Chain A
Amino acid sequence: MELLQLMIGGLANGCIYGLVALGFVMIYKASEGVNFAQGDMMMLGAFIALGFGNTDQMGLPFGVAVLLAMVLMFGIGWGVERVVVRQIFGQPQFALVILTIALGFVFRFVAGSIWGYTPLVLETPFAGQNLRSGGIVISLADLVTIGVTLVLTLALWAFFAFTRIGLAAQAASQNQMAAYIVGVPVMRVNSLIWGLSGAVATVAGVLYATRGAIDPNIGLLGIKAFAAAVIGGLGSLPGALLGGLIIGVVEPVAGRYAPGELAKMSPYIIMLIVLVTRPGGLFSQIQMKKV
């Protein structure tokens, strides 16, 4: 029973890792590089929602605040691609790594200077409500987190698998030259994907904030989410979610049953095991080349 309880909390946590990992995967698909500011975009999204929604700030209804935050973060993601990332188009992948690490610092500074460094709580309609069933307590926040994550992952998957623009994004990620030649405006698609990943990061941030206070440094969670994305295979959306869930569940279970600080190391231990046994990740899309 205790294990089950741990696992439910872990699943909800894992959903948040998974959502941030989805952001990694989307941008990896678009820009062939890793956006290390993804965690900080999550943080910024959460703060913007808090800025719109909390009664001592703008005091808008929760749903409106979240929607506005998503729109604004879409714009920020889109703008970052247009103004910053596009400048290093064609540079080695590592340039994007350094650039996004720096962007992360900027986001943290911006959030810190607007909202300060003392932890704040996002007011949500489902704070502190719990469901009880057979000795297990499930918080409403956990349920919402799991539900929203499932719906969003499904929607994103459908977007990439079926829509004209989603297919164009996949094409551009596989071969930009070929994408151009069949008529895909590669640059515009990349901007859109960055915008989309900003909006997804906002959802992750809001869900994170339903589970506790936020401060400008919560973006460091991005490192764990990156491990989740690697576990899933950087190019796979369902893989990213699965990677997040694995890490989310293993962490609290290891914290309870494993000795010492093993719990904190567990995401990276899993990542290493996956990298050694299945270098392409669990949902690898890369096939071994025939020689």
Chain B
Amino acid sequence: MSLLQVEDLAIHFGGVKAVDGVSFSVEQGEVFAIIGPNGAGKSTIFNLISRVYPPTRGTIRFDGRDITGLKAHDIAGLGIARTFQNIELFDHSTVLDNLLMGRHTHRGTNFVQDILFLPKVRQEEREHRRRVEQVIELLELEAYRKKMIAGLPYGVRKVVEIGRALAIGPKLILLDEPASGLSVEETRDVAFWIEDMRRDMGLTVLMVEHDMSLVNQVSDRVLAMANGQPLALGSPAEVQAHPDVQAAYLGTGAAA
């Protein structure tokens, strides 16, 4: 069974059909990319999966469970993490604290235990720190551990956001334009990390991306969308060769 199944998903804002009848499923261990011109509804799909918006129609199933009616704060606990196109971090906290906040749903101690800093809390805290240090090591964030987010360059903040998503310890990670605004080298790093996520951590990756070189390099399957509707679904090469996709991007049949 697929890890994520989206069926006939739709959301209408007044008369605007931002997403209108999209279905796809993402298999366990797959890297699945959604592409499409601006306004195609890609990020809206992310917002629907992470329960920021309630859909007008359709269902979302994760790990066999219908999550369409859940709240935004329930998603992390199920094992879905995400990043945002416009980076949503805790700006007045350090990189370390941002990553530790990713462990929120894994904290099982109560408030009295927390205040007294009992052995159980210390033990949990060590485990959280260990998990976060793994993420720091993977993403090479060592130099920024104690730095405030607000003063960091864009590229680093982008990586911290990926780090926080990994700290959640998810099964499925949603990456919203992970390469946008990054240099060529930084984008290459992102490609490596996505490979690591799949190969070493056994994660399933769903990403929205405009950088076709990244999409070609890492994705198993691609869904192309335009105006809230699906155009084509298949391997990166198949989708890019699809006449509807070329028309949506270029308005003609010219090669992409």
Binding site for B on A (CB under 8 A): 155, 158-159, 162-168, 170-171, 174-175, 177-186, 235, 285-287, 289-290
Using A167-B101, A180-B52, A183-B76 as known contacts, say yes or no to A287 and B148 having CB atoms under 8 A apart.
yes
Q: Quick check: B104 and A164 within 8 Å, CB to CB? A: yes
Q: From B12-20, B90-98, B211-219, B244-252, give the one contacting chain A.
A: B90-98
Q: List 11 A-B contacts (CB under 8 A).
A: A167-B101, A171-B90, A171-B104, A178-B89, A178-B90, A180-B73, A181-B76, A182-B105, A183-B73, A183-B75, A285-B92
The docked-state distance in angstroms from the alpha carbon of A175 to that of B71 is 17
CB of B83 to closest CB in A, whole Å: 9
The docked-state distance in angstroms from the alpha carbon of A149 to that of B27 is 57
* Other A-B pairs beyond A159-B111, A182-B105, A286-B150, 19, CB < 8 Å: A158-B115, A159-B115, A163-B111, A163-B115, A164-B107, A171-B104, A174-B90, A175-B89, A177-B52, A178-B90, A179-B73, A179-B90, A180-B73, A182-B168, A183-B74, A183-B75, A183-B168, A235-B92, A285-B92
Chain B, 55-87, CB within 8 A of any chain A CB? 71-77, 81-82, 84
Residue B229, interface by CB 8 Å: no
Using A165-B111, A290-B151 as known contacts, say yes or no to A181 and B93 having CB atoms under 8 A apart.
no
The docked-state distance in angstroms from the alpha carbon of A85 to that of B74 is 23
Partner of B150, one of A166, A170, A289: A289
The docked-state distance in angstroms from the alpha carbon of A168 to that of B88 is 15
Q: Quick check: B115 and A182 within 8 Å, CB to CB? A: no
Binding site for A on B (CB under 8 A): 50, 52, 71-77, 81-82, 84, 88-93, 101-102, 104-105, 107, 109-111, 114-115, 117, 148, 150-151, 164, 168
CB of B72 to closest CB in A, whole Å: 4
The residues of B that contact A177 with a CB separation of less than 8 Å are: 52, 84, 88
Q: Quick check: A181 and B81 within 8 Å, CB to CB? A: yes
The docked-state distance in angstroms from the alpha carbon of A235 to that of B84 is 26
Q: Quick check: A183 and B105 within 8 Å, CB to CB? A: yes
Partner of A162, one of B84, B105, B117: B117
Q: Quick check: B75 and A287 within 8 Å, CB to CB? A: no
Partner of B114, one of A164, A170, A186: A164
Q: Quick check: B76 and A182 within 8 Å, CB to CB? A: yes
The residues of B that contact A235 with a CB separation of less than 8 Å are: 92
Most buried by A among B72, B82, B150: B72
The docked-state distance in angstroms from the alpha carbon of A181 to that of B76 is 6
Q: Quick check: A162 and B114 within 8 Å, CB to CB? A: yes
Q: Quick check: B52 and A183 within 8 Å, CB to CB? A: no
Partner of A184, one of B81, B104, B109, B111: B104
Q: Quick check: B92 and A287 within 8 Å, CB to CB? A: yes
Using A162-B115, A174-B90, A174-B93 as known contacts, say yes or no to A181 and B82 having CB atoms under 8 A apart.
yes
The residues of A that contact B164 with a CB separation of less than 8 Å are: 178, 182
Q: Quick check: B73 and A286 within 8 Å, CB to CB? A: no
Nearest CB in chain B to that of A177: its residue: B88
The docked-state distance in angstroms from the alpha carbon of A159 to that of B114 is 8
Q: Quick check: B105 and A178 within 8 Å, CB to CB? A: no
Q: Quick check: B91 and A175 within 8 Å, CB to CB? A: yes
CB of B78 to closest CB in A, whole Å: 9
CB of A287 to closest CB in B, whole Å: 5
The residues of A that contact B115 with a CB separation of less than 8 Å are: 155, 158-159, 162-163
